[in-house]
Every structure is written in structure tokens, then in C-alpha cells.
Chain A
């Protein structure tokens, strides 16, 4: 074991620190959209967007260790994200790089890196959630085109996306339901697509129902083989789980939560000095540290060429319980004012913690619920019979 940085790695860390010194502090007070645009341009020039992707497709070709360093330094400084095409960077891009042909790579990857437009993910259906492979969205071939009919649901940011990675059923008479699923890359402005936003419990509408009626998709927009969509999805979901398990976002949230506990006064003392609150913060922080180290241990395995499968479920489970616990802790810390929403002076930090405490379903339910993760661990790792 060795956690020391090599001289090259230390040099890279210093490069990152110098960049953040130069580009972050000065602008922190005016972090508006203009500023964010400039930031995105600069990190793109550095090739830190898609940093782990191969150089041939425009990525940064960063080593695993460099990625760890970059993310850690960014989290410590609470830097804004590297890139703006969230799903494109998290799993659509990696899927295209793995399963796409040359034209597809050239057509889609640069725009994902530049954040030209958004991608959304059309997997879930009203009757196919946890049991995703039971999906029914119909798809028939007609010459050089596929014709798609069906409904998707919970499609995050469908209303602002230009593209969708869509799962459809191209074959129904299969022995195993996972066969007969195909993955398509679909333009959202294709005739026959209707998007109906769904209001969620925090009052926003960031996901939607997507209705597809006789939507024509060119065959060249198929990702991977016909009937090979499940394979594409499994690797995409693993990417989603590992990106959801990203510990650095949590590290950052934790820093903010500690600040909140330091700045909040409860009955004459700082909230952080209340033993029960301090304990809960400590417990959460230890879980986050264990996620960081789990991630590094699994990366080492991967680098040694050992296959990495269901381990990502470990951190996804931690993340799910932490997301809930940290929201509840913020409520506990801020007391009676905790339920006040944005728009009044009394709301702590303009209601952002109240909003956070309503936001956990995205990571807890999205990408597979805790029950499903526990099934994965007990069946695939511990070898218990399927239920």
C-alpha cells in the first residue's frame, strides 16, 4: 500500500491548486452564469472535462490517480462542476465511447464535452422501474428506420434536452427478457415525441413523462447491436452508480453542513457543540471517508485488471443513507426555521437546506433503490439465491 503521491502526481496536484487559486477565489463573490460560462471554457481548455476519456475522442486521457487528485482538490475548494452536460459526461458519453461506432463518437462526444446541449435518459416506464428489463416500449424496423411507440417516465430534464438515450424492445418472443432490448440515440424534437413535466415534492418539475408515437429513428442512431441494449445499459448503470457514488460531492456538502452547524446558534451555543449533533456529523463524516477509501481500493483492483462489478453498490448504499441523514441533520441543526422555504429572511441560507432535505429521492430512488442494491450485493457477491 502506498498513498503518497509520486513527484509527477504531486506536480499535477500543484498545477490544479495553482489553477484554482488563479481562477476561483477572485470570482467567488460573483458566481453568476457569465462567470460559470468563463469557468467552463477554461476547464475545457485544460481538458479537464471528460478528463478520464481517451485523448482520441477529445478527452483528457488522465490517469486514474490524476482523476482522483483533480476531484479531491476541486471538492476541497468547492469548485463548480467540470462541464455542464451532466448525463452526457456521467454515462451517455462513456457508453458511446464503449459501444459506439466512429461516426457516433465524432457526432456526439465533442458536444458533450463542450456542453452544447443536454442529454436525457429514457429507461424507466410506468410498469418497469426496478424491473427495468421488463420494459415494453415497442420498436419495429421499417427500412432504414426504427418506428417507436410507447411511454417513458421519470425522465429527468427531458424538457430541456436535445437528445435522449432510449431503451426499446425490438423483440418480444425471447426466453430471457433482457434479450430483445435495443438502445437508440433519439433527437427530442423528432415528430411524435411529447414531453409532459411532472411536478415533484419539492415543487419543481425536473422530470417528465415522455410519450412516443410513431417516432422514426434512423437505424444509424442505434447504439450497439440490435438486441444488445441491455449490455449497454448495464455498463451505463454501473457508470451511473459510480458517478452517483461520487464521494466528492458529498465531501463538499459535508463541509457546508459543518459550516451551518458552526454558524447556527441554538439556545446560546453553537449547534456543532451540541453533543448529539456533533456525533451525527462525525458518524456521517466517517462514512464519507470510508466511501473515499472504498473507491480508491476498488480502483486499485481495477488497475490490477480484476473485474469490478457490484462493488459500486456499496458506495451507492452509503450515499443513499447519507443523503437522507445529512438532510435530516440540516433540519435538526436549524430547528424551527428548518422548514422555511426560499423567499423569507428567516429561512436559513435562503431555504437551500430545506430544498436539499426534499431532494434525496434523486440519488436514493434514481439509479436503483437501496433494496435493489442489497439484492445485487447479496446475490452477485454473496451468492445467495435470487428472490
Chain B
């Protein structure tokens, strides 16, 4: 048993942290999110050059062929700095194509995703906001050797920036007959844009499909179990990124508690302040262990993976949003200001909670998986 990172992984962590400290301080992040796209193409391209975007994509397609365990290190760092980028979305689209695409399909799309040129995303949810197979009502109608998609996908991460959408659609009458199609921005009938959202560091939007004709060579060979494995992966990656964000939120609040003097003493001396911080620490360490294990299981193809993911996401969804609230509260009045950084983490918590399933969804999933 080994529950630690390799030396290479630790080096990568240091490298990513340095890059983000230099280029994406919270001050810088605040500027980046003011832009139309909400992320910095220039930094994105540099990250691609460094190999971080294609880290888990196959080497033959321009990636580095490494495991999600290594990617975890990158995500903890992007989480720490609330780095705005379509990293997780692009990775999920690539994973879908890698797992369920033919060689030709992989060669067609993966290199562009790995080198940062194409931004990808996974579009599953619809208006019903239901992560189960019955939530996918978008029908794939067959017509003259093509599949016609007409409908809308909601809550699509990075929808306004994506060039490539991996869309879940209904492929038959069976409740679990769900598959995936690749739809490209610019194709006839495709319209996507962002919606105003609370967490400015994470863009979210809607994808409208109006009689979009998809050729057979853009259909992936996925079934519902496959789609669900992508949702699981999304939940795991979001949790991993949250570990970094939560550690930073705790650091910021702890530092504040050491500096702020009231009643002639740093407020961090008072147990009403220090104990909630200790509780946050306990929670962070605990969902960290859960998500590390889950990601190991995903890499190892271990059967326990879905269960492990749901445990981690249920825990983090229940605790990190509250930690954000505590963090703001422990700052007093300045915590409520736009200027102070802690509010950014509170908002990240709220973005994270429903993303790839909230606690309720994952508790139900644990039950479905026979866990309890």
C-alpha cells in the first residue's frame, strides 16, 4: 500500500504552483474573469505547451498518457488559485472520445483538445436537472443515415467557450438507451452561450440544438453506463479541485485570524474562532483521503470506483459550502466585501455543490450501487 505521491508528481505540483503564483494570483484572476470569455487564452495555450491539458490523453494523440492521479496534483493547484479555465470540461470531452470513439474519431478530435486549440465540454443535464438516465430526453431521430438532435442542454460547463460538445442523447425506447454524439460549434443549428452565474471563475451556460444533423461518424459508441462513468469522473475531478480551494480558504481565514486583533488579542486565540477552523481542517483532510482513493480506483479500473467517488462527492458537497460561509463569517464585515478574497471561495462552494451531482444524488447512488 502506498498513499503518497511520487517525486515526479511532487515536482509537477511545485511547477504548477509556481506557474499559477506568477500568472494567476487572486488579483490576476479577478481581472481574467472580467473578460468576455472569462479565461485567459494565452495562459491556456502555455499550459497546453507544458503538457498539462493533455496530461491524461493518449500519447498517440498528442497527450502524455498519464493517470488521473497525476492530474489530481494539477487540479489541487488550479483549485488553490481558483484558476478560471475550461480544464475539467475539456478533459471530460476528451475522455469520452478516448473511451467511446473509434481510432479515426480520436485522431480527428483529440489532438486539438490536447494542444489547447479546441475547448471541449460534456453536455448531459437538461431542464429537469436530473443526472439519471431519465433526465436525458433529447431524442436522436434517425433521418437518411443521420441523427437529428433538437432540444436544449442546460447547466453546461463552459458552454459559451466550447468548440466541441459531447452531447448525451436518447438512442432508443429503453430507459437506459442513452448515447453520446459529438457536436461542433458553428454547425447548423448549434447555439451556445453563458448565463450570469454566481462564481465568476466557473462559466456555465446553455446549449441549444435546432435540428442539428449529426453524421454517423460523429456518434460515439457509448451506453448509459459509459455516460455515468463520465459523470463519476467529473464528480471526482471537481472534488479534487475543491480540495485545493478549501485548503486555500482555510489558509486565508487562519491568516486573518492571526492578524485581526479584538479585545487586545488575535481573534484566532478564541475558541469560537479556532474551533470552526479545526473542524474545517478535519473535513478537508477527510474528503481529501476519500477523493485520492476514488481517483486511484478510477485509474486502476477497480470496481469500487463509483462508490468511492460518490462517498467523496457527498462529503464535500455537504461540508465545503458551509466552510465558505464560516470563512466569511469569521472575517466579520470585511468578509462581506467584494474586495476581500474569502467570498470567492464561498461562491466556489456553491458552484461545486450541484456539479456532477449533489450530496442527495450521491447518497442515492451509493444505495443503487448496493453500498447502503
Contacts and interface: CB of A to CB of B under 8 A. Distances in A.
Interface residues of B, number: 45
B286 interface: yes
A286 B287 CA distance: 9
B282 A317 contact: yes
A77 to B, nearest CB: 19
Contacts of A371: 271, 275
Interface stretch (A1-9, A52-60, A192-200): A1-9
Contacts of A5: 1
Nearest to A5: B1
Contacts of A387: 269-271, 274
Contact of A2 (B1, B273, B278): B1
Given A378-B274, A384-B269, A385-B265, A318 B1 contact: no
Interface residues of A, number: 46
Interface in B149-172: none
Contacts of B315: 286, 290
Interface string A297-332: 101110010000001001001100000000000000
A300 B285 CA distance: 14
Interface in A311-365: 311, 314, 317-318
B275 A378 contact: yes
A282 B286 contact: no
Most B CB within 10 A of own CB, among A5, A296, A304, A377: A377
Contacts of A1: 2-5, 69, 292, 296
A165 B288 CA distance: 38
A300 B6 CA distance: 12
Main secondary structure, interface of B, reads helix
Interface in A144-188: none
A383 B250 CA distance: 12
B367 A278 contact: yes
Given A3-B296, A294-B286, A382 B367 contact: no
A374 B278 CA distance: 6
A379 B5 CA distance: 27
A293 B278 contact: no
B277 A296 contact: no
Given A2-B296, A317-B282, A294 B2 contact: no
A385 B254 CA distance: 11
Contacts of B288: 297
The A interface, classified by DSSP as helix, strand, loop or mixed, is helix
Nearest to A289: B311
B363 interface: yes
A373 B286 CA distance: 16
B367 A301 contact: no
Contacts of B371: 282, 285
B135 to A, nearest CB: 20
A311 B289 CA distance: 13
A314 B69 contact: no
B277 A384 contact: yes
A240 B372 CA distance: 31
B5 to A, nearest CB: 7
A258 B367 CA distance: 13
A124 B69 CA distance: 46
A259 to B, nearest CB: 12
A293 B274 contact: no
B290 A293 contact: yes
B27 interface: no
A374 B271 contact: yes
Nearest to A304: B4
A68 interface: yes
Contact of A385 (B258, B285, B289, B293): B258
Interface in B270-312: 270-271, 273-275, 277-279, 281-282, 285-290, 292-293, 296-297, 300, 302, 311
Interface string B1-40: 1111100000000000000000000000000000000000
Contact of B289 (A282, A297, A317): A297
A382 B275 contact: no
Interface string B331-372: 000000000000000000000000000000001001100011
A252 interface: no
B367 A282 contact: yes
A123 B3 CA distance: 36
Contacts of B293: 3, 293
A382 to B, nearest CB: 5
A378 B273 CA distance: 10
B6 to A, nearest CB: 9
B271 A285 contact: no
A287 interface: yes
A384 B285 contact: no
A383 to B, nearest CB: 7
Given A3-B1, A4-B300, A374-B279, A384 B287 contact: no
A313 to B, nearest CB: 8
A307 to B, nearest CB: 15
A52 to B, nearest CB: 15
A5 B302 CA distance: 13
A377 B318 CA distance: 22
Contacts of A314: 281-282, 285-286
Interface in A62-100: 65, 68
* B258, B265, B278: residue with the most chain A Cβ atoms closer than 10 Å: B278
B363 to A, nearest CB: 5
A282 B372 contact: yes
Contacts of B1: 2-3, 5, 9, 65, 68, 296, 299-300
B266 interface: yes
A2 to B, nearest CB: 5
B258 A384 contact: yes
Contacts of A107: none
Contact of B254 (A278, A374, A383): A383
B292 A293 contact: yes
Given A375-B274, A384-B277, A387-B274, A258 B268 contact: no
Contacts of B269: 384-387
A281 interface: yes
A279 interface: yes
Contacts of B302: 3
A18 interface: no
8 contacts: A293-B293, A294-B286, A314-B282, A318-B282, A374-B274, A374-B278, A382-B254, A382-B274
Interface of B: 1-5, 69, 250, 254, 257-258, 265-266, 268-271, 273-275, 277-279, 281-282, 285-290, 292-293, 296-297, 300, 302, 311, 314-315, 318, 363, 366-367, 371-372
Given A296-B3, A382-B274, 9 more contacts: A2-B296, A278-B367, A281-B372, A282-B363, A283-B314, A287-B286, A314-B286, A382-B278, A384-B273
Q: Nearest 3 A-B pairs (CB), nearest first?
A: A293-B289, A378-B274, A290-B286
